């Protein structure tokens, strides 16, 4: 799996979540570009994404949206 610099690389829906995933300002910008200022990380979602190696950021976006609908 390619190494991703979560601080610097451009992140899009097809970016694969690697085992080196880090919750960075760059990742936050990606989610805010999709969901606006309402986007917030919570512990459950952070735990989910930390265990989502091999999935894509698009998958992570779908998961976040699904969690928001169930609130």
pLDDT at 64: 97
pLDDT at 19: 93
Q: What is the pTM of this model?
A: 0.92
Number of compact structural domains in the chain? 1
Q: Which residues does 56 contact at the CB level (< 8 Å), separation at least 6?
A: 13, 14, 15, 16, 17
Give the pLDDT confidence of 1-39 residue by residue, as tens digits: 568 999 999 999 999 999 999 999 999 999 999 999 989
Q: 49-60 as b/e, with b when 16 or more CB fall inside 10 Å?
A: beebeeeebeeb
DSSP state of 37: G
| Domain extent at residue 9 | 1-71
Residue 54 has pLDDT above 90, yes or no: yes
pLDDT, greater one: 51 or 70:
51
């Amino acid at each position: 799996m390619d190494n991703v610099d979560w601080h610097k690389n451009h992140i899009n829906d097809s970016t694969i979540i690697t085992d080196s995933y880090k919750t960075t300002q760059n990742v936050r910008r990606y989610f805010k570009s999709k969901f606006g200022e309402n986007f917030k990380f919570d512990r459950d979602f952070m735990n989910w994404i930390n265990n989502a190696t091999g999935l894509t950021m698009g998958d992570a976006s779908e998961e976040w949206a699904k969690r928001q609908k169930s609130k």
